[in-house]
Structure 1
Amino acid sequence: MRRHHSTTPRLTRVLGSLLLVAAAGAFSVGAAPAPRAAEPAPLDRVVPAPASVEPGGAPYRITAATRVRVDGAAGFSVRRVAAYLAGILRPSTGYRLPLTEQGEGGIRLRLAKGSFGPEGYRLNSAPDGVTITASAPAGLFHGVQTLRQLLPAAVERGTVQPGPWTVAGGTIEDHPRYAYRGAMLDVSRHFFTVGQVKRYIDQLALYKINELHLHLSDDQGWRIAVDSWPRLASYGGSTEVGGGAGGHYTKADYREIVRYAATRYVELVPEIDMPGHTNAALASYARLNCDGTAPPLYTGTQVGFSSLCVNKPVTYDFVDDVIRELAALTPGRYLHIGGDEAHSTSHADYVTFMDRVQPLVAKYGKTVIGWHQLTGATPAKGALAQYWGLDGTGAAEKEQVAAAARNGTGLVLSPADRVYLDMKYTKDTPLGLSWAGLVEVKRSYDWDPGTYLPGAPASAVRGVEAPLWSETLTRSSDIEYMAFPRLPGVAELGWSPAATHGWDAYKVRLAAQGPRWDALGITYYRSPQVPWPTG
């Protein structure tokens, strides 16, 4: 189903992407020539592809005289985005790049009314400066990520580089196709620290991903402190796959992840998986088990053997407490209740459980997300079902999901044989699993979310998400290797208009990301399907 892997590459700043020459034909099969340093990257070589590009005019050059400007009435959020941009540019350029409300030219961030939507922006580059305009700070932030890609990859380095720092002339008008553009990190199979999660958040933000789904509980570990049930974290979180020390987030840790994600315009989506995938909870409290006996902690990788006791009143006291405390920590809209691989729960019990638990999510002000097995019960009004089936999943299962979509349930698409980042690229990939198949870069990109699920209206699709399960992942470099280069392609499927999608052009733009990842110290898989630059 949807288990295995996790990814945490460190990319505190990347969305910049050397935009190479002009078309797929400009590259030879094995490698692509890097553009001369003096040539600015073309405006249309961004990942994700912008909605509209109009190149033209002379470029803008960042110099020692450049200022980062905001309007006098700019609020804290705009100033924070401006400071973030200056913080990226200063180490590599060696310039002061002071923030100012005075003067003309330079790099200007401004809010204005327009048809940008909550995340769209316009970037205009001319000899006298670069202006990013949006109707909300999130749009300015996404525009900054595009600006990074229009600068040489060396802008991402932490030491002074020679430059020059030029931005091609013209205008980009951009906005997302889908409001939900997610990535999931499994911190239950193997635990990842606050610092490692932040590192992944930075990498996600580079590609305009705006949802981080944290898989906080499973058979192998419970990763969030719950005051009313303290043994969940202290005991249930004390191990991981293979028998390591595990770990958990204190409430302060979790708040820090939420805070940091918000500065990158990423919403946190916490998941407590139930009624299956609950061995860590069952091991922590005997009374949650139907027979009153706690099982031992589990450090293997099998699935489907655990279940909360659906007929015990204490089960719903437990679920209410966990949801209440987690909702209070989470300012975002969603709370994910899992619901997959509940093989040890009868269908009748599963329906009973979901009928009782979904209202608890609403009680605490959150919207339900569940894995697509939720559609086997009755999804709550406004709920999202996350589809993780395969191209070859049976017609009956697909129709069950499509029928729910036709009835108003929103869909987040995560087909496992397309966008599960823990799937091996090839049989020789040292990390990952292959139960859903081998997933090379082209396969992960070459599909359309709007038409993927037969019978589901395109209007039901809320977006896409790339899960990363961590059965075989223990380090940030492991996360990076499995996420890159596939993650940017999923981000493009979520952000860019369908008309811009096409493997031949995309692989050229993707190849230009390689030098940027090198500059950022990101470990990535050098797929032979991509014409990486040499030299």
Structure 2
Amino acid sequence: MKIGGRRYARVALVLALATSAIWTAGGGNAAQAAVTPVPFSSVVPAVAGSAPAAGVTYGISATTTIYTESTSTEATAIGGYLAAILRGSTGYPLPVTAATGSTPAAGISLLLSGAPSSVGDQGYQLDVTATSIVVRANQPAGLFAGVQTLRQLLPPAAESTTVQPGPWPVAGGRIVDSPRFGYRGAMLDVARHFFPVATVKRYIDEIALYKVNYLHLHLSDDQGWRIAVNSWPNLAVYGGSTAVGGGPGGYYTQDDYRQIVAYAASRYITIVPEIDMPGHTNAALASYAELNCDGVAPPLYTGTDVGFSSLCTSKELTYTFIDQVFGELAALTPGPYLHIGGDEAQSTQPADYAAFINRVQQIVAAHGKTVVGWHDVVNATPLPSTVAQFWGTTTRNSAVSAAAQRGTKVLMSPANRAYLDMKYNSRTTLGQNWAGVIDVKTAYGWDPGAYLSGVGESSVLGVEAPLWTETITSLADIEYMAFPRLPAIAELGWSPYSTHDLTAFKTRLGAQGPRWHVMGLNYYHSTQVTWPAGS
């Protein structure tokens, strides 16, 4: 809410502080009557286990302090992140200080001790009593996940950037939570249309709320090359100069990319950069004639057809090029994965494709990174570490299932379930429909661990929701296509399948609507979601 500007903020701060005099750390009847605490059952993704405490509520007040693990700079940073969000909406000082002793103090504590080993590195335990909120985890990533749950247990107004009157109750009880799959991803195609650093950061913040922990950036395609490469400067300067429809294009400098990587890391999200090859390479081929078999550079391309381009797989220069590009990208990317694309390579002969993929895998491995490729790469000989990202529209793929049985891990992104660029219905203005239309019921109604025949849960690395951008040109477009479907995919990646229930999910997802409204997020008001009145 921004109406009233500074005058409104001053009045709201007075109201908030007055309310806090009633709403103490132990709760207060007058304030409690004004705002009903958000129940544990409203959290998305659904928590693995919880035990609500009836009649118990903690109220964040003007005297609340955030205590963090004294020996952990990461915990301190997470405390600062939480305080920054809540200071804006509550107007409270919320100091962040080191925890002392083994007994949590009254207030909010973020501790790297006392969590059950069963929650692993990404899970957490959240305890809310009348006097304290305590998040415990084994690793900082778990603390950050616990903070996302805490955010959702606060009233939606807590997401406001201007001071609101409160109160700020949190329902009492215990949550013990951990993810089903270690990889829960989103993909943003910045090649078809370029998006500036600020837009990527905003998307990172939005997906972090739903415990997404990987962001795959599709950095190159026929229509644009979006990362500066010092050894091949024309890739970005010329190859990045346009976009679908002939727009102005753009690219990230290496400092821009470092900034994105660091920002994502502060939200416990790992960047997975993709350089697509041997197809989807017209921007590179147009930038350097010598990458073409005939030595002739094609013109820049601004259409949307696929499958027509290919690197020259028989040229040794091609592999020098790949080695240098991936060498620079590996040095910029602290995460374990480099994505090599590998899809829709219709202009490359099958034998040449297999030999190319096999050699590129070795180049990536030599730079200390693990290969991810679209599932087409299983038609070569995957390294034991290579991850195949399934994007098909069927539940059977003999090559992928055979690879899985030989040990290849599969990242699940079936296009007719997880592609966020598919239209919601025939009336949707944005997006495509080649894989079908996808509303919430379709996005949520599948089991990643039992979806693809011959690929059992132990072979599934996780899930990823790709957003291709042939028709997407702005942050508002990104948000409209991602929400409410991305939280559905995020829940499939995090929550135990035993919690899977469409009716309950439609209500839990609908409860996010008021939060998105406060955040200024441009979401699609799906008729398949049970939205609260006024959202």
**Alpha-carbon separation, structure 1, partners of 2:275 and 2:530:** 41
AA aligned opposite 1:120: G
One-letter code of the match for 1:50? V
1:518 equivalent in structure 2: 517
> Residue 57 of structure 2 aligns with which residue?
59
Alignment equivalent of 1:129, drawn from 129, 132, 138? 132
CA distance in 1, matches of 2:121, 2:374: 27
Alignment of 1:234-245 (within 5 A): 234-245=237-248
Distance 1:366 1:102 in 2: 38
| Residues 99, 109 of structure 2: 8 Å contact kept | no
Deviates more, 1:37-46 or 1:426-435: 37-46
Distance 2:385 2:136 in 1: 32
- What is the aligned partner in structure 1 of residue 10 from structure 2? none
Q: Relative contact order: is structure 1 or structure 2 higher (C-alpha 8 Å, sep ≥ 6)?
A: 1
Residue number in structure 2 paired with 1:233: 236
> Letter of the aligned partner of 1:146 in structure 2?
T
Q: Please name the residue that 2:407 is paired with.
A: 408
Q: Find the aligned partners of 2:200 and 2:399 in 1 and give their Cα distance.
A: 35
2:455 and 2:80 map into 1 onto residues whose CA distance is 43
Once the two structures are aligned, what percentage of the paired residues are identical? Answer: 61
Q: Distance in 2 between matches of 1:431 and 1:157?
A: 28
Q: Distance in 1 between matches of 2:429 and 2:158?
A: 31
| 1:48-447 correspondence to structure 2 within 5 Å | 48-57=45-54, 58-71=56-69, 73-101=70-98, 104-112=105-113, 114-115=116-117, 116-391=119-394, 395=396, 398-447=397-446
Tell me the secondary structure at the aligned position of residue 494 of structure 1: helix
Task: Tell me how far apart the structure 2 counterparts of residues 38 and 473 of structure 1 sit (CA, whole Å).
Answer: 38
Find the aligned partners of 1:198 and 1:159 in 2 and give their Cα distance.
Answer: 20
Query: Structure 1's 227 and 329: CA in aligned 2 closer, same or farther, altered over 3 A?
Result: same
Q: Spell out, residue by residue over 1:451-482, the C-alpha distance to the aligned partner (whole angstroms, 9 max, x if none).
A: 00001122000100000000001100000000
**2:275–2:339 CA contact under 8 A, matched in 1:** yes
Encode CA deviations 1:173-214: one digit per residue, 9 max, x unaligned: 000000010000000000000110001100110000000000
* CA–CA distance in structure 1, aligned partners of residues 223 and 49 of structure 2: 46
Do the aligned partners of 1:124 and 1:132 also contact (CA within 8 Å) in 2? yes
Residues 216 and 222, structure 1, Cα contact 8 Å, conserved in 2: yes
AA aligned to 1:126 is: T
- C-alpha spacing 1:144/1:102, structure 2 compared with 1 (3 Å): closer
Listed as ranges, the gaps of 5+ residues in structure 1 are: 1-34
Structure 2 equivalent of residue 16 of structure 1? none
Shift of 1:102: 6.0
CA contact 1:188–1:217 (8 Å) conserved in 2: yes
Post-superposition offset of 1:282: 0.3
Unaligned runs of 5+ in 2: 1-31
The CA deviation at 1:37 is 4.6
Kept in 2: contact 1:387–1:411 (CA 8 A): yes
* Paired residues of 2:193 and 2:470 also in contact (CA < 8 A): yes
Deviation of 1:117 after TM superposition, in Å, equals 1.0
The match for 1:470 is 469
| AA at the equivalent of 2:133 | V
2:272 alignment partner, SS class: strand
Q: Tell me, what secondary structure is at the counterpart of 1:303?
A: coil
How far, CA to CA, are the matches of 2:423 and 2:359 in structure 1? 38
Q: Tell me the distance in 2 between the aligned counterparts of 1:269 and 1:281.
A: 20
C-alpha RMSD over aligned residues:
1.2
Whether contact under 8 Å (1:110, 1:134) holds in the other structure is: yes
1:74, CA displacement in angstroms? 2.9
Q: How much has 1:402 moved relative to structure 2?
A: 0.6
SS in 2 for 1:213: strand
Partner SS state of residue 93, structure 2:
coil
CA distance in 1, matches of 2:332, 2:167: 45
What is the alpha-carbon distance in structure 2 between the residues aligned to residue 235 and residue 45 of structure 1?
Answer: 48
Q: How does 1:478-493 map to 2 (within 5 A)?
A: 478-493=477-492
Amino acid across the alignment from 1:312: K
> Could you say which residue in structure 2 is the equivalent of 1:503?
502
2: CA distance, partners of 1:469 / 1:36 = 46
Q: 1:36 Cα shift?
A: 7.5
Q: Is the 1:406–1:457 contact (alpha carbons within 8 Å) kept by the matching residues of 2?
A: no
Alpha-carbon distance in 2 for matches of 1:40, 1:242: 48
CA distance in 1 between counterparts of 2:75 and 2:99 reads 16
Question: When the two structures are superposed, what TM-score results if normalisation uses the length of structure 2?
Answer: 0.91
Q: Which residue of 1 aligns with 2:28?
A: none
In 2, Cα distance between equivalents of 1:101 and 1:226: 43
Within 1, Cα distance between the matches of 2:37 and 2:390?
41
> Is the deviation greater in 189-198 or in 156-165?
156-165
Query: 1:44-99, CA deviations, whole angstroms, 9 ceiling, x for partnerless residues?
Result: 2100001101001511011111111124x332111000000000111111111111
2:83 & 2:456 partners in 1: Cα distance?
Answer: 43
What SS class does the counterpart of residue 327 from structure 2 fall into? helix
Partner of 1:32: none
1:100 Cα deviation after fit: 2.1
Give the match's secondary structure for 2:42.
coil
Q: CA deviation at 1:43?
A: 1.4
In 2, the alpha carbon distance for the partners of 1:132 and 1:125 equals 9
1:310 match: secondary structure: coil
Query: SS in structure 1 opposite 2:276?
Result: coil
Deviations 1:329-380 (A, max 9, x none): 0000000000000000010110110111100000000000000000111111
- For 2:66 and 2:455, locate their aligned partners in 1 and report how far apart those are by CA, in whole Å: 46
Rounded to whole Å, the distance in 2 between the matches of 1:337 and 1:267 is 17
Which letter maps to 2:191? Answer: S
Residue aligned with 1:130, SS: strand
Give me the whole-angstrom Cα distance separating, in 1, the residues matched to 2:379 and 2:315.
22
